[in-house]
A and B are shown apart, each in its own frame.
Chain A
C-alpha cells in the first residue's frame, strides 16, 4: 500500500519537476520582455508603470538599428555559405571511400572541439597581424562560417546516410542525367535536412557573442553591442528593449520550427 502511495508521489513529482523546469528556464526571458516596458531608468524591480520609451529609443537609435541589420546580414550569409560548404563535404564523406577520409572528417569537426574563444582569437591574430585585414562584418562571417561548419556537416551527413541511393540510380536508369537527378530527386529529398542546417547555422551566428566579440570591427552585431553596453552595466534600459526584441525573434524561430515539426511528426 505504502509503496503505491510513494510511487504516486514519485509520478506526480516528476510531472511537477518537468513543468517547474520549463517555468524556470523561461522565467528570465519573460521578465526581460515585461521589464522592457517598465517606466524606470533602472533595469529591474520594482515595476513603476508601463512605457514604450525604451522601445522608442531603440527604434529611433540608428546605431541600434544598424546593429540589428548587421546581425541579420551576417547570419544569413554565414548560414548559406556554411550550409553550402557542409553540403558538398557531407556528400563526399558519406558516399565515397578514400584515403585520408577520417583525417578530413576529423578536421572538419575541429572547430567544434575548441572553445569559441580559441577560434576567435586565432582568426583575430591571423587576420590582423598576418593578412593585415581590417575587422568588419566580413571577418565576423568568416568566423561564423567556420564555427557552424561542423554542426552543419554533421546534420547533413546524418541525412545523407539515411538516403536511399537506389532512388538516384532509378532516376539515372529512367534517363535523367547527374544534374537532373540531383535537382529532381536528391535535392527535394534532402531539403528538410538543408533547412535544419540553415536554421542551426543562422541561429549560431545570430546568437554568438564569443567569436564576434573578437572579430567585430566598428560595426557590431546585436550580441556584441549588448555585451558592450552591459560590460559597463550602464543601466541603459534600451538594452532591455533590444534584448526583448531578440527574444521575440527567438520565439518566432521557435514557432516556425514547431510548425514544421508538427508537419513532420
Chain B
C-alpha cells in the first residue's frame, strides 16, 4: 500500500467570524480509496471540500493533496493540482450561459488537445453515464434540479481526474438514479482507480460505495472507519445517525416532541 495518502487533511480548523465550523479535523484518503463523509446539515462538509479544493483558506492546519500543501501553492501550481481533481458542486454551479454540452466539455477544451469530435464523443459518453443522452443543446435553465446535478457530475468526471470530490451528488434524485450514480462512482473507482470523497445523506449508497465512512459532528470527525465497523460503532451519535432518530445526542436543541407524546403530555380537552 502506498505510504503517503493522496489527500491528507491535518488538524484542519475553519471558522467564519465567531462561528467555528471545523475544528481539528484529521482525514487521510489513500490512493484508490473511496471515503464517504456523513454529517448533519450545516456541520461543515461543504466547507471541508472547499478547503481541499483551495477555495477557502484554513485558519489552522492544512490540506495536502499528493504531498503538496494546498494553501502554500501559488496559483499556477494550484491550477496544476486542480486539473487532477474533479469537483461536483452541491448546487451544480453550471455555467448558465453555456449549453449542457459546452459545460461538460469545458475542461476538455481548455486542458487537452482533443479534437472537436473527440470532445463531442467524450461529452456524449459522460452524459450517457448519468442518463442524460440527447440533452446536449439544452441550457441549464431548461433542466430540472436533478438533471443539473447530473450534468455537474458529468462535468466533474469529463477530464478523467485522479481525484473526485462529490458534494451530495445524489440529493434530490430518485432512488433508481441514485443507484446509477453510486454505480458510476464504483465503476470509476474500479476501472480508473480514482480516489474519491463523497458527501451524501443517503445511507444506502454510502454503504455501497464507501471503503471508509467518516462522520462529522459539531466540527469534529468523530468516526472514520470501514462500513462494517461504522455500523457497530458504539458511539450514540453514530447510532442515532444510522437509525435516523430525532431523539438522542445528535441535535443541539431537543427535537419537537412526537405527536403521540405531545398528546400524552397535553391531552386534548375532552
Same assembly: no
- Chain B residues within 8 Å of A, Cβ to Cβ: none
- Chain A residues within 8 Å of B, Cβ to Cβ: none
